[in-house]
Amino acid sequence: MFDDNTSLDFDYSSSLSEVWRILNRKERSILRQESRIMNFSKNEVIYSVSEQPTHMMCLLKGRVKIYIDGVGGRSQIIRIIRPIQYFGYRASFAEEAYRTSAAAFENSQVCMIPMAVVIQLIRENPSLALFFIKQLSIDLGISDERTVSLTQKHIRGRLAESLLFLKDNYGLEEDGATLSIYLAREDLANLSNMTTSNAIRTLSTFVSERLIAMDGRKIKIMDEEQLRRISKLG
């Protein structure tokens, strides 16, 4: 990890716009002074399960995975953080250690905001409290849906759901079909709660059925309607 130890002297308003708009001038000044930017290399751990939370984090560049290590060293990816999303703060609000781990999917830049500062700002600004209530509620809803999908659906349904999840949350490239996030087969398997070998076989089946096309880690969605049908049927 390379710590820039940099204060927020860049255009913060364009980077953390929603929270930035909620804060007044004094609160923005506090945030600038107390936060710092840290850079993480690909696959580098940002925080680990059982650690005590000290900072709220906002991803500025790159992508980050939130995951839990399961039986036999196999991981389950809970969600993927994209730029200008906040993470790492739920455990602090709950006054408990982290129940998950976070690592950089690719070289990433993260804004680290001390939780003591976050709590101070929330106490002084009710609108900020409502913002985090909304974010936690959204995350809980997504988590509930993913739990049902990953425990009740068959392999085809789980993989189809994961591909659509990536499309809906991370978008497509300029061709309007290729997923803008490139995952290793193992990561896609971990996101779908299946073994890597099952993920590879199912992807090959989807290719033969012309539901997707693949070029290395690039996945192009060819028949979104059918993928949604497979996901829905489970």
Give 40's contacts (C-beta < 8 A, 6+ positions apart): 1, 46, 62, 64, 103, 104, 107, 108, 109, 110
Amino acid (one-letter) located at 101: S
Strand partners, 63: none
Query: What tokens appear for 183 in the block?
Result: 């995952």
Q: Residue 57, Cβ neighbours under 10 Å: how many?
A: 22
pLDDT tens by residue, the chain, 234 residues: 434 444 454 444 444 567 888 999 999 999 889 999 999 999 999 999 999 999 999 999 999 999 998 766 678 888 889 888 999 999 999 999 999 999 998 999 999 999 999 999 999 999 999 999 999 998 888 777 777 777 778 899 999 999 998 998 888 999 999 999 888 899 999 889 889 999 999 999 999 999 999 999 999 999 999 999 999 886
**Cβ atoms of residues 58 and 84 within 8 Å:** yes
User: CB-based contacts of 126: which residues, under 8 Å, 6+ apart?
Assistant: none
